[in-house]
Structure 1
Amino acid sequence: MDQSFLIMLSNLLHLQNQLDPTTSILSDSSTSTTTATPSSLLTSTSAAPLLFFTIASVLSYISTTRKPSSSPSPPPSPSTTSQYSVAAFRALSTERIWAMEAPLRDAQWRSLYGLSYPVFTTVVDKLKPYIAQSNLSLPSDYAVAMVLSRLSLGLSAKTVAKRYSLEPYLVSKITNMVTRLLSTKLYPEFIKIPAGRRRLQETTASFAEITSLPNICGAIDNTHIRLHSLPSNIPNPNIYTNSHGFRSIQLQVVADHKKIFWDVCVKAPGAFDDATHFRDSLLYNRLISGDIVWEKVVNVKGHPVRPYIVGDWCYPLLSFLLTPFSWNRTGNPAQNSFDEGLMKGRKVVEEAIGLLKGRWRILQDMNVGLNHAPQTIVACCVLHNLCQIAREPEPEVWKEPEESGGAARVLESENYYYNFGESLRQVLADDLYQRLSSR
């Protein structure tokens, strides 16, 4: 019997003494007189004991059936509530998460949200001020977690809505907001051209180890992002059908030796070729106009060589973009040696794209509205860079379809850059072959 029940019984006894003085006489021998009238005595001696007995019986039943309340009940755990509810997320992501062993904690977080808990908190901390301005009814970290689960698992808005007990329109709204913030506010911080001397030196030196070619600062490639569906009122849907036969929009990236993207462009529908997409990019226009000029210069056989990027035969040969002599190694020994080294450099960007699609599976089947697809793709690129910088474990690489298409033609306006690039490529090929032959 707990303390509160004893207090209630004591109060009942006091009430009984007030209603029935005869009970008081029986319980206190010092009391010898009573002022009760016959009528009041009749009332107290008949009703009060019955009232006391009834109330005491009810309280006794309650005390024997209720659970002890000596210690506060623990908060519901994710195992007893939906693991995607706000309460469950709070229980896991506050005290409990840091009490877990780091490998177990981060493995669990990656399976749900695509990245480890420390990287997740970094994303939340950077986005929280902007999310707060939107007056969102959900906590910032919960909203980010929901969007990351959609991006990493490739879930539709309806599936996420059902899992998180939200309306699909709200899931779409939050997805659009978070991906927009990632692709605009975090893009300048995590996707940067290697312009600084230290980073440029590290990048070119690392590519030289991979390819045996000097002054490579990046590798460029294009990939198709499959569209789950298109709006029914779109004017010309055929421009989204690519050479592989499915509808897509194109993503162009330039990656460094760490498989970190330093340029991202999403502008072309699937039917466009890689060269057209490249020429429509901001990067191309900045390189053509001389807005980007890398100051690091090396001398190869008396020829000044500035940093350049490498691509496959789908891109035009230019002074700042070198491509293979042939697609099937049909050149002379020097040219074939150059092509082999160049393709080793290109493999870096192929692996980066494979990791991107392996981490963020929504890119394997883009199930957001066409208007929001570009920002979603760029947001995934930002998250990919965060993971690479933090040295997150690399997932299974997504396998791309085989490349198809012929060599890119050179525009008349590009003749100067083509001639310079052709001369540069031959110099590098001769130098490489001479170095390999002398070993």
Structure 2
Amino acid sequence: DTGSYSRRAGQSRRRSLTHQQDWYLLLCARRIRMSTATGVTKQSETDFMRWWDVIVPAFTNAQWVQNFRMSREVFHSLCNKLRPAMERRDTTSRECVPVRKRVAIALWKLATGSDCRSIGHLFGVSNTTVCRCVQVFCAAAETLLVPKQIRYPDEGRFREMADYTENRWGNRWGAIDGSHIPIIIYWVLRLSTLWKLATRGNLFPANVRSTSAMTAGYYILGDSAYPLQQWLLKPFQDTGHLTAEQHIFNQHVSCTRVVVENAFGRLRGRWCCLLKRNDCDIQLVKSMVATCALHNLCETYGETYETSWDVPIASALQPVVALAHGDGGGAEMYEKR
């Protein structure tokens, strides 16, 4: 029938496009191997640029999500949001890289963690251009995207979130977790803005809520690695002699924190650059904040998350480097939490 024929025709077109894309990627790889020490030729640069100009526009939505971690519509929306900070003018000596291509280069880098040389060959630009695109994109995201996607809740939002969990866990405002991202800098919870706000008493609204015969303020939940504070609760340490109530408390903490653990898993799955050590100067390491904003943007639009992106448990459970208290000088590599 007509419907069956249309489905077969669509499947045939998708297979043809996938086959064409695979061949083009093989061509890029072959060109890279054949390039001389002085760089690729003008003809090969033109061949590489055809991947972006010819192959990418024919992507299906599934292929777009697989390669850029978001649909074509959300990609265009993102380009429009960042255009004021990323758009450049042509000069008399050369044409600038269009905003859409600059955003695509940055997303490819964040999504795959590939080296700049490979990305440059794929998009037909230089290594320097790739680095600049990523830096400008992350700076633009920090300025234009982060304030809208990562916002500190006001008092009304605090109450709304606490009311939502009132029947299951009174006054619980949220949960905290961390992801170990190797960088060359000393950075721990005690140096974070969160810690400074909490110690000054500015993290939560001043009012308290009544719980049975007691009054208590808002708090967040952490795992056993976090320090116990008035505003930060953690599970009881399992010494083998916990009471039934303490076991129940630990189970509630574990169940409640599943959401934040899943969020970090999806963050690292979407943006594989977070799985590798970032050797940039700390002032340039804005990709971490940018990926968090992009993650929230994708979740807000209900973008597809492929289970194939999940980080294997062995890779996710990286060893934690013990950090000494103090201001920690030196240039050793530490895990950022």
Rounded to whole Å, the distance in 2 between the matches of 1:390 and 1:182 is 17
What's the CA shift for 1:367? 5.4
Aligned counterpart, 1:65: none
Aligned counterpart, 1:106: 61
* 1:304 alignment partner, SS class: strand
Check conservation: 1:176, 1:372, Cα contact below 8 A. Answer: no
- Which residues in structure 2 correspond to 1:359-438 (within 5 Å)? 359-366=270-277, 369-371=280-282, 374-396=285-307, 397-398=310-311, 399=313, 400-401=316-317
Q: 1:119 to 1:208 in 2, by over 3 A?
A: farther
* 2:180 alignment partner, SS class: strand
What's the CA shift for 1:107? 1.2
Aligned counterpart, 2:86: 131
Instruction: Give the fraction of aligned pairs with identical amino acids, expressed as a percent.
Output: 26
Aligned counterpart, 2:180: 224
Q: 1:205 to 1:327 in 2, by over 3 A?
A: farther
Rounded to whole Å, the distance in 2 between the matches of 1:279 and 1:121 is 39
Aligned counterpart, 1:321: 232
Aligned counterpart, 2:221: 310
The RMSD of aligned alpha carbons is: 3.3
Q: Which has the larger radius of gyration?
A: 1
Aligned counterpart, 1:175: 134
Q: 1:207 to 1:158 in 2, by over 3 A?
A: farther
Q: 1:156 to 1:220 in 2, by over 3 A?
A: same
Check conservation: 1:86, 1:142, Cα contact below 8 A. Answer: no
Aligned counterpart, 2:147: 188
Q: Which amino acid aligns with 2:271?
A: W
What's the CA shift for 1:249? 3.1
Rounded to whole Å, the distance in 1 between the matches of 2:49 and 2:224 is 51
Aligned counterpart, 2:3: none
TM-score w.r.t. length of structure 1: 0.56
2:186 to 243, 256, 268: 268
Aligned counterpart, 1:423: none
What's the CA shift for 1:329? 6.7
What's the CA shift for 1:125? 0.8
- Establish whether residue 249 from structure 1 lines up as the match of residue 180 from structure 2: no
Q: Which amino acid aligns with 1:390?
A: Y
Check conservation: 2:48, 2:121, Cα contact below 8 A. Answer: no
Check conservation: 1:310, 1:323, Cα contact below 8 A. Answer: yes
Rounded to whole Å, the distance in 1 between the matches of 2:62 and 2:131 is 27
Rounded to whole Å, the distance in 2 between the matches of 1:327 and 1:111 is 42
Q: 1:174 to 1:329 in 2, by over 3 A?
A: farther
TM-score w.r.t. length of structure 2: 0.71
Q: Which amino acid aligns with 1:218?
A: G
Aligned residue pairs, count:
276
Q: Deviations over 1:315-336 (max 9, x none)?
A: 1211111111214674222222
1:214 to 160, 166, 170: 170
- Establish whether residue 115 from structure 1 lines up as the match of residue 70 from structure 2: yes
More contact order relative to length (CA 8 Å, sep ≥ 6): 2
Q: 1:157 to 1:314 in 2, by over 3 A?
A: same
Q: Deviations over 1:385-406 (max 9, x none)?
A: 1111112223333232177699
What's the CA shift for 1:309? 0.9
Rounded to whole Å, the distance in 2 between the matches of 1:114 and 1:372 is 26
Aligned counterpart, 2:114: 155
Rounded to whole Å, the distance in 2 between the matches of 1:220 and 1:385 is 16
Gaps of 5+ in 2: 1-16, 26-46, 326-337
What's the CA shift for 1:215? 2.0
Q: Deviations over 1:220-267 (max 9, x none)?
A: 122211xxxxxxxxxxxxxxxxxxxxxx239xxxxxxxxxxxxxxxx7
